[in-house]
Structure 1
Amino acid sequence: MQHKKKLFAGVVVLSAVVAISYLSVQVPARKAKSPSFSAGMDQKIISAFLEVWQQYNSLHSYGFDVIQTQLTSSTMQAQPVIGLGDLFGKNRGYKLNVAHKVLDSGELKVADLPDEVLRGWFAHELGHIVDYENHSNVGMIAYGIRYTLSDQYKRDREHEADSIAIRHGFRQEIIATKRYLLENDFISPAYQEQLRKNYMSIRGAELCPDEPTPVLPKLDL
């Protein structure tokens, strides 16, 4: 009987040690963080971004910087921020670079875009970041290489960013942004052609489902 009591006590102690060890390695839930904005950014841009940001709850626990800067090949650019020591880990932040002027539009300032267009553009860029969440830190290197070298991969990722934005409730804003860029004469024809080539069409945005569509198996007919 005494032997059984000692055995039972040993099991209890061992269980407690295992439980404590398990709890000590759990990653605590990340607290919500507010995005930071570069000094001097127009309040209209900040307000439009924050309206969209509120709908992207999955990103609220990350450090996030919105930086207005000179861009030569795009108007907005969403990027992961990964420290060298975290390359093989899981820690990352994000940043969104915002140009002062819309690409290939002459003198049109981003701050002068209609509110709905700004929200649609931000919704698309945050859609990219949600897409980044499907990739490890190392995987983001392969993502960047494939995006640069493969036209099909680039189209797939741009369409997915639009689809994610629509699933977050920004269908009308995405459509408004496309119409604004494709139907205004002050946007260069070359830029408009790139938009038609790589991005979801207006009709595609109208028909895009509100929920993720399952990948159906191919049937031999």
Structure 2
Amino acid sequence: MVRKNFMQAQPKWKSLFSSRKNRAYIILISKEFKVENEVFTIDEIPDDVLTGWLGHELGHVMDYRRRSSLGMIFFGIKYLYSPTHIKEVERAADDYAVKHGMGDYILKTKEFILNHTSLSDAYKNHMRKFYLSPEEISELINRYAETGKKPSLEELS
């Protein structure tokens, strides 16, 4: 089971000491998602929302790919202790996902989380604090659509 999250992207431990090109990643997905006393099973979450969640995690992988092994270690330590770093990282993952065509799914995921009546206000406030808002996601979708900019091979590697 994934600790504290429904999905979690991370490098495979052994590959962390390989070159960036040879690093391997895994995305852990919990069969259940627990927010305080509310439990959702993976089957209860709409497909578009799951796709958006997965897109967000793939955004993390894209972010990880540009970091050195030592950089990944410092990254992990900062994630444990710095709320500012958490906010930067989570927003960057959403940005990567939107930039690579996952915007509508990311938007559906955020709206599901923020508008689901049984999720607590504390959890929703956590999401508002650390992640892009639906409005910010819509702005990114429009910005990337206006520029027509597709990611370059350099950006993808």
TM-score of the aligned structures, taking structure 1 as reference length? 0.60
Note if 1:157 corresponds to 2:108.
no
Distance 2:47 2:18 in 1: 39
Q: Which SS does the other structure have where 2:33 is aligned? A: coil
How far the C-alpha of 1:117 sits from its partner, in A, is 0.4
Tell me what 1:87 maps to: 17
Note if 1:108 corresponds to 2:40.
yes
Tell me what 2:2 maps to: 71
Structure 2, unmatched stretches of 5+, are: 151-157
Distance 2:40 2:113 in 1: 12
> Over aligned residues, Cα RMSD in angstroms?
1.8
Which structure has more relative contact order (CA 8 Å, sep 6+)? It is 2
**Which structure has the highest helix share of the two?**
2
Distance 2:79 2:128 in 1: 17
Partner deviation per Cα, 1:27-56 (whole Å, 9 max, x = no partner):
xxxxxxxxxxxxxxxxxxxxxxxxxxxxxx
Distance 1:180 1:164 in 2: 20
* One-letter identity of the residue aligned with 1:185: T
Q: Which SS does the other structure have where 1:103 is aligned? A: strand
* One-letter identity of the residue aligned with 1:87: F
Structure 1, unmatched stretches of 5+, are: 1-69, 213-221
Tell me what 1:203 maps to: 135
TM-score of the aligned structures, taking structure 2 as reference length? 0.83
The 5-angstrom pairing of residues 10-159 of structure 1 reads 70-83=1-14, 87=17, 89-90=19-20, 91-104=22-35, 106-159=38-91
Number of equivalences: 142
Distance 1:102 1:88 in 2: 32
Q: What fraction of aligned residue pairs are identical, expressed as a percent? A: 32
How far the C-alpha of 1:88 sits from its partner, in A, is 6.1
